[in-house]
Chains A and B, each alone.
Chain A
Amino acid sequence: MNPTGWLLALLQTLLFVAAAPLFGAWIKRVKCWLQNRRPPSLLQPYRDLRRLFSKQVVLAEHASVIFRLTPYLVFGAIIMAATVTPFITLDTPTTAIADAIVLTGFFALARFFLALAGMDIGTAFGGMGASREMTVSALAEPAMLMMVFTVSMVASSTNLATVITSIEHQMVMTRPSLWFAALGFLLVIVAETGRIPVDNPSTHLELTMIHEAMILEYSGRHLAMLEWAAQLKLLVYAVLAINIFNPWGIAHSDGLAPLAIATALMAGKLMLFGTLLAAAETVLAKIRLFQVPVFLMLAFTLALGGMLCFIILEAG
C-alpha cells in the first residue's frame, strides 16, 4: 500500500472526470468540420454543465426517491468504472479492485438505475427508452464478454493491468484474434454509449431516441450529473479500447517523465479515436431498432471469431 499509488489513482480519476466533457466536445468539433458547420467552443460542454448545476431542480409530481437517487448512483458507478480503468499509468493499486468483468458490472449497475428512473415518472417516453436501452444492452453483453474472453485468453488474465502489460510486450500487433476482438469491441462501444448508428446522442423529441428518452424528465444538477456521466462513460470506453488494443506508451512508474509522455500520447490517441468516431457517425445513418440485433450479432461474431482464431491458429 504505497500512498503515491493511491494519490496517483485519485489524480487519474479526477483527470478522467475533468477530461470527459472535452472528449465529447472534440467529437462534436470534428463532426462539425466534416459536415461543414461551425463548431462550438471546446469549452462549451463545461459551460453547459455549469449552467445546469446553477439551475434549480424541478421534479415531476409523481417522482419517487429512485428518481432523485439515480443521478448520484449512476455517477458513482461510472466513477468506479473510471477508477479501475488504467488511463495513463498502470502503476495504481486501484486496477486490482476490479477486473474487466466487474467493469461491465459497473456499467450494468448504472444502466439499471437509469432505466428505473426512466420508468419512474410514468411517461411513455421514459418506458420506451428504458425498454430499448435494456434490449440493446442485453444483446451487447455477450459480445462484450466474448471480447473480454478473447483478450483474457491471449493474456491469460482478466485484470486490466496484466492484460495491457501482456499485449504491450508483443511488439507489433499481428494477432488476428486481437484484431477481431478490437473490431467487435468498437461495435459494442457504439451500441453501449448510444452513438450512431444505434442511437443518436443529439436527438430530441423523436420516437427513435433511447438514452435521451430516459432522462427527459431530469433538470438542473440531476441532468448535469447524468450528462456528465454519459460523457465519462464514453471516455472510459474509448480509453479501454485504446489501452487494450494499442497500449504502447502507457506509463509503468510514477516518475514525472513517463507520466508526461503517457499523457501526451493518450491525448493524441484519444483525438484520433474521436476523429474516427466522428467520421463514422458522419458516414453512417441510424439503423432501425430491429436491425440492432444484426449489428450486435456481427459484433458477437467478430469477438467469437477472434476467440476461435486464438484457439485454432494461435494456440499451437
Chain B
Amino acid sequence: MFFSQLALYEQAILALAAVVLLLTFLMLVHPRILSVIKLFAWQGLAVAATTALVAYDANAPHLYISALLTLLLKAFFIPWLLLRMVDRFDLHQELDSLSHPVLVLFGGIILVVFCYHTTLPVAAQLTAITHNVVAICMSVVLLGMVMLISRRKAVTQVVGFMALENGLFFAAVAVTEGMPMVVELGVAFDVLVAAIIFGIFFLHLRQSIDSLDTSRLSRLSERERD
C-alpha cells in the first residue's frame, strides 16, 4: 500500500489536500454568503498549512515565508475584508442559493475525475511526494471557475475567484515546490490589490443597481428585451 508507507507529515500533506478539495466543494454549494466566506478562510488556512509542510518536506526555507504570507493574506486579511463588506452591506442573513445544487455538485465530481485523467501524464513525471496533489489543484481551479459561473451575488463570485487563485498557488507549491520569491510576492500583492478593487467595485455596484446581484447587471444592456 502506497499511502501507509509514507511518513506521517507526508500523509498529512495529502490529507490537507483532500480537505482543501472538500472545502471547495462546500463553498461551491453552501447557500449562505457568510458561511462561504468562513469556508474560504478555512481553505486559506489549509493551503498555508500545506505550504508549511511542503517547506519542511522539501527543506525549502523560502516556502515558509510563502506559507506565512498565505496565512496572513488568505486566511485572515481577505476574509476580514469580505466580512467587513458583509457588515457594511448587512448581508448576514443573505442567501445565494444555487438553483440546481445537486447538478452543480455532480458536475463538480465529474470535473474532478476529468482533472485526474488529464493530469495523470503530468503527475507521472513528477518525483515529489506531492505529485498526486496536481489533480486536486487543477480541480480546485476549475471548481473555482464553476463557482464564478454558478453564483449570482458579487461577494460569492469574488470568493470563487479567490478560491481559484488558491488552487493556482497550491499547484505552484505542489508541483515546483514554490516559484521564485519575487514571483510569489508579486502574486500576493496582486491578490491584495484585487481584493481592494473588488471592495470598491461592490460599492459602485451597490450604488448603481442597488444590489449585489450581478445577474441584474444584464439590465444595463441597451438591447431591447421582450
Contacts and interface: CB of A to CB of B under 8 A. Distances in A.
Direct touching of A and B (C-beta under 8 Å): yes
A67 interface: no
B127 interface: no
Contacts of A170: 4
Contact of A175 (B3, B21, B29): B3
A176 B11 CA distance: 9
Interface of B is mostly: helix
A180 B21 CA distance: 11
B77 interface: no
Contacts of B113: 308
A311 interface: yes
A312 B17 CA distance: 11
B102 A297 contact: yes
A305 B25 contact: yes
A209 to B, nearest CB: 25
Given A308-B112, A308-B116, A314-B2, A294 B101 contact: yes
A304 interface: yes
A177 B19 CA distance: 10
Interface of A is mostly: helix
Interface string B66-102: 0000000000000000000000000000000000011
Contact of A176 (B14, B25, B29): B14
B11 to A, nearest CB: 4
A180 B11 contact: no
Interface stretch (B129-137, B158-166, B201-209, B217-225): B129-137
B142 interface: no
Nearest to B21: A305
Nearest to B131: A316
Contacts of A177: 18
Contacts of A308: 109, 112-113, 116
B105 A176 contact: no
Interface of A: 170, 172, 174-177, 179-180, 293-294, 297-298, 301-302, 304-305, 308-309, 311-316
Given A180-B22, A301-B25, 16 more contacts: A170-B4, A174-B15, A176-B19, A179-B15, A294-B101, A297-B101, A297-B102, A298-B29, A302-B22, A305-B18, A308-B112, A309-B18, A312-B135, A313-B132, A313-B136, A314-B1
25 contacts: A174-B15, A175-B3, A175-B15, A176-B19, A179-B18, A293-B102, A294-B29, A297-B102, A301-B25, A301-B105, A304-B109, A305-B18, A305-B22, A308-B109, A308-B112, A311-B116, A312-B135, A313-B14, A313-B18, A313-B132, A313-B133, A313-B136, A314-B1, A314-B14, A316-B132
